[in-house]
Structure 1
Amino acid sequence: MRTVMYWNGGWAWMAFMPLLWIALIGLVVWAAVRLTQHPSGHDEGHDRMLPPRESPEEILDRRYASGEIDTETYTEARKHLAAQRPRQR
């Protein structure tokens, strides 16, 4: 009698196992997608830990504001950067 009870419970467990595996695989896939997705939903190839890149103008402005370069160097560099930019139509 004990063997029959074991097999009855065993068959119920065997019927439940495919559902458990499907749930487990679904959880792993969901976690992998969630961890590799960019916060905005679009993966732009940027690392989440890196700050956004500064434009050349922003770098120049920051260096001028901190006193690393003088006014003459700043204005010349600004003119040079403006000449290198593609023209907007």
Structure 2
Amino acid sequence: MMFWYGNDGGVGNGWGYLLMGVGMLVFWGLVIAGLVVVFRQPERRDRVAGGMVPAHRTAQQLLAERFARGDIDETEFTGRLAALHGQKQL
């Protein structure tokens, strides 16, 4: 003979089921949020397809990046490139 307290197995008027459901949602929400934080890579401007760009770039690489972005025009690029290599401008 089993002694139950009421018909719901001791949970009491359904509130226990509600709390268990909410607790389960909170638990899985925390698990998913933790996984997102662990596996998410920080957004960086210098990302390339295969990995990250090295932190130390040469002056020529920086100049080429400025030219590629359109910050400087071709004449300024060639002039500054010539200055980097120690050549006189024509």
| TM-score, scaled to structure 1 | 0.41
Structure ranking higher in helix proportion: 1
Q: Which has the higher strand share?
A: 2
TM-score (norm 2): 0.41
